Amino acid sequence: MKPAEFGKVAVMFGGDSAEREVSLKSGAAVLAALCAAGVDAYAFDPHDQPLTQLREGGFARVFIALHGQGGEDGKLQGALDLLRMPYTGSGVLASALAMDKWRTKLIWQASGIPVPDYALLDARNSSAATDFAAIEARLGLPLFVKPANEGSSIGISKVSQPGGLAAAYAEAAKYDPLVIVERFIDAGEYTIGIIDVAGVLQALPMIQIVPAGEYYDYQAKYLRDDTRYLCPCALPETRQKELAEQALKAFAILGGRGWGRVDLMLDKAGSAYFLEVNSAPGMTDHSLVPMAAKAAGIGFGELVLRILEGARFG
């Protein structure tokens, strides 16, 4: 499509989630790239702009650069469906499932996609005492503890010492009542970006993430400059192809469309364990999908235009 054919575009970013600051950076980058390409694009922050202004303002489609709850969990997508307003990324069901790490795991397990061993804790079940020591013993240390419905590594802790699970659980429960306790996979973190090319989902080059600290936390993702990203990664081409096919399957099983990112870990034996899908990945200067697209010869401006071209509702 030519830039003028997109019509008036709302770049939706900001919002009210715990990931607002990241979203502001993503949205600003997307907006600048669209404007530079000649698209009639405008900032739209649902924090202070009601969605009814989309129709009143004559917008033709929405580029979703919101992260976290209320932006990529299916709620916004449902509202835009009712408005019959085309938007980027996955629809209601896939967005809701991808945001929910627990239900993602259930679907993947039923579909043969390997996931790390885990336990689910529910802060709403106050009548049952949690045996943290038993969970530590069953899953082993270290452990990762994370809110089931949050992103950008918000609320995540690594538990390395016996007795540390209770405090990590309390921190994660600040962000979501459902908390995942996950067995640590010890050999490396990888990510695979996915984009729609002429109606067919394709995997971008695989990236290996090598944080300078203990793990890939919020600081490593967005603020530190010493995190290393290996793209192309050192895995054999045949193994990368196998993992890309698994990532595409994992994304499609949830109903993903348009674009996204699949995160996974490898253990020392080379076995893969899939962690989650991000249905509205970051687009900041530290973000992984733009990095992988660049390795595939797709510049940032071309990437956002491709994503916008795939906007749809329903």
Q: What is the pLDDT of residues 148-175, one digit of tens each?
A: 998 757 889 999 999 999 999 999 999 9
Query: Are 83 and 143 members of one domain?
Result: no
* Residue 301, domain member (yes or no): yes
* pLDDT score at 218: 55
> Would residue 19 show up in a list of annotated catalytic residues for this protein?
yes
* pLDDT score at 124: 84
* Overall domain count for the chain: 3
* Residue 41, domain member (yes or no): yes
* pLDDT score at 257: 98
- Answer yes or no: are the C-beta atoms of 70 and 42 closer than 8 Å: no
Structure tokens at 265: 């870990």
Query: Are 279 and 208 members of one domain?
Result: yes
Q: 152, 153, 279, 287: which is the annotated catalytic residue?
A: 152
- pLDDT for residue 108 is more than 90: yes
* Residue 172, domain member (yes or no): yes
* Residue 314, domain member (yes or no): no
* pLDDT score at 244: 98
Query: pLDDT over 90 for what percent of the chain?
Result: 86
Query: Are 153 and 242 members of one domain?
Result: no
* Residue 61, domain member (yes or no): yes
Query: Are 106 and 201 members of one domain?
Result: yes
By DSSP bridging, strand 207-210 and strand 228-230 are antiparallel
- pLDDT for residue 213 is more than 80: no
Query: Are 103 and 208 members of one domain?
Result: yes
Question: Binning pLDDT at 50, 70 and 90, where does residue 14 land?
Answer: very high
> Would residue 183 show up in a list of annotated catalytic residues for this protein?
no
Please give the mean pLDDT across all residues of the chain. Answer: 93
Q: Where are the alpha helices (H) located in the chain, listed in sequence order?
A: 20-36, 52-56, 75-83, 92-99, 101-111, 132-139, 165-172, 218-222, 237-253, 288-295, 300-309
Report phi then psi at 251, rounded to 5: -70, -45
- Answer yes or no: are the C-beta atoms of 172 and 179 closer than 8 Å: yes
Going by C-beta distance under 8 Å and a sequence separation of 6 or more, which residues neighbour residue 311? 61, 62, 63, 86, 87, 88, 258
Given 140, 158, 183, the domain boundary residue is 183
Question: Binning pLDDT at 50, 70 and 90, where does residue 186 land?
Answer: confident
Q: 263, 287, 306, 310: which is the annotated catalytic residue?
A: 263
Q: 45, 72, 182, 276: which is the annotated catalytic residue?
A: 276
> Would residue 282 show up in a list of annotated catalytic residues for this protein?
yes
Query: Are 29 and 82 members of one domain?
Result: yes
- pLDDT for residue 221 is more than 70: no
- Answer yes or no: are the C-beta atoms of 218 and 154 closer than 8 Å: yes
Given 127, 159, 183, the domain boundary residue is 183
Sheet with 143-147, strands from edge to edge, namely 118-122, 178-183, 143-147, 157-159
Asked whether the whole model's pTM tops 0.85, one would answer yes
- Mean pLDDT to the nearest integer, 206-224: 70
- Mean pLDDT to the nearest integer, 39-68: 97
Query: Are 101 and 248 members of one domain?
Result: yes
> Would residue 263 show up in a list of annotated catalytic residues for this protein?
yes
Q: 45, 71, 222, 306: which is the annotated catalytic residue?
A: 222
Query: Are 101 and 127 members of one domain?
Result: no
Q: 14, 15, 17, 19: which is the annotated catalytic residue?
A: 19
- Mean pLDDT to the nearest integer, 233-259: 97
* pLDDT score at 150: 81
- Answer yes or no: are the C-beta atoms of 138 and 119 closer than 8 Å: yes
DSSP per-residue letters across 153-187: TTT-EEE-STT-HHHHHHHHTTT-SEEEEEEPP-S
Kindly report, residue by residue over 272-297, the tens digit of the pLDDT.
999 999 999 999 878 999 999 999 99
Question: Binning pLDDT at 50, 70 and 90, where does residue 220 land?
Answer: low
- Mean pLDDT to the nearest integer, 121-142: 86
* pLDDT score at 280: 96
Query: Are 123 and 166 members of one domain?
Result: yes
Query: Are 12 and 126 members of one domain?
Result: no
* Residue 33, domain member (yes or no): yes
Q: 27, 164, 282, 310: which is the annotated catalytic residue?
A: 282
CATH code of residue 137: 3.30.1490.20
* Residue 138, domain member (yes or no): yes
Question: Binning pLDDT at 50, 70 and 90, where does residue 225 land?
Answer: confident
> Would residue 152 show up in a list of annotated catalytic residues for this protein?
yes
* Residue 26, domain member (yes or no): yes
Domain extent at residue 125? 118-183
CATH code of residue 246: 3.30.470.20
> Would residue 222 show up in a list of annotated catalytic residues for this protein?
yes
Query: Are 213 and 142 members of one domain?
Result: no
Task: Please give the Cα distance from 84 to 275 (Å, whole number).
Answer: 32
* pLDDT score at 43: 98
Query: Are 159 and 279 members of one domain?
Result: no
Report phi then psi at 291, rounded to 5: -65, -45
